[in-house]
Amino acid sequence: DIQMTQSPSSLSASVGDRVTITCRASQGISNYLAWYQQKPGKVPKLLIYAASTLQSGVPSRFSGSGSGTDFTLTISSLQPEDVATYYCQKYNSAPLTFGPGTKVDIK
């Protein structure tokens, strides 16, 4: 099975900073990758699918890129409401594996 890893596992940044989270697949998955945001105590929310397509209603400061095995989620200007754990998920085929998550908070 394909394994998903994320780095870093956590980060702390200032409001307005550019934040980048990396997700890596152990084998190529083309662009079959989604990103989710889970705020503390809340339900996960889809941010991006097909590696770079922004889900409707998601702020444009979020963007995704990558293909094959290496992917990134970028927050162009971190806001206080972006404090959350971010998960990547591959969906090229079952099993549909999530990454372990990256916790983002404000410095």
Partner 1 sequence: EVQLVESGGGLVQPGRSLRLSCTASGFTFGDYAMSWVRQAPGKGLEWVGFIRGKAYGGTTEYAASVKGRFTISRDDSKSIAYLQMNSLKTEDTAVFYCTRVGSQLLEYFDYWGQGTLVTVSS
Would you tell me which residues interact with partner 1 (CB under 8 A)?
1, 32, 34, 36, 38, 43-46, 49-50, 55, 85, 87, 89, 91, 94-101
The nearest distance, CB 66 to partner 1, in angstroms, is 15
The nearest distance, CB 82 to partner 1, in angstroms, is 18
The nearest distance, CB 56 to partner 1, in angstroms, is 9
Q: Closer to partner 1 at the Cβ: 49 or 78?
A: 49
DSSP state of 95: S
Q: Closer to partner 1 at the Cβ: 17 or 31?
A: 31
DSSP readout, 30-94?
Answer: TT-EEEEEE-TTS--EEEEETTTEEPTT--TTEEEEEETTEEEEEESS--GGG-EEEEEEE-SSS
